Amino acid sequence: MGSLKLVLFDIDGTLIDTGGAGARSWTWACEHAFDRRRVDIGKYSSAGMTDPVVARETFAEAIGREPTGEELARLMAAYLSVLPDYVAASEGYRVLPGVQELLLRLHDLGVLLGLTTGALEAGAHSKLGRARLNHYFLVGGYGSDSENRVELTTIAVKRGERLLGTSLDPRQVAVVGDTPLDISAARGAGVVSVGVASGKYDLDELRAANPDHALAALTEPFPGLED
Task: Give the H/E segment covering residue 51.
Answer: helix 51-63
Say how far apart CA 28 and CA 34 lie, in whole Å: 10
**Strand-pair category, 173-177 with 112-116:** unpaired
Q: Three-class SS string for 67-92?
A: CCHHHHHHHHHHHHHHHHHHHHHCCC
Per the DSSP assignment, residues forming a β-bridge with 196 are 215
What pLDDT, on the 0 to 100 scale, is given for residue 44?
62
From first to last of the 227 residues of the chain, give the pLDDT tens digit.
Answer: 558 999 999 999 999 999 999 989 998 998 998 888 878 777 666 677 899 998 998 888 888 899 999 999 999 999 999 999 999 999 999 999 999 999 999 999 999 999 999 999 999 999 999 999 999 999 999 999 999 999 999 999 999 999 999 999 999 999 999 999 999 999 999 999 999 999 999 999 999 999 999 999 999 999 988 65
| CA trace torsion 207, 23, 156, 210 (10° rounding) | 10
Beta-carbon contacts of residue 162 (< 8 Å; ≥ 6 apart) = none
Per the DSSP assignment, residues forming a β-bridge with 203 are none
Percent helix, strand, coil in the chain, to 5, is 45, 15, 40
Residue 141, helix vs strand vs coil: strand
φ and ψ at 119, to 5 degrees? Answer: -70, 150
Q: CB count, 10 Å around CB of 114?
A: 23
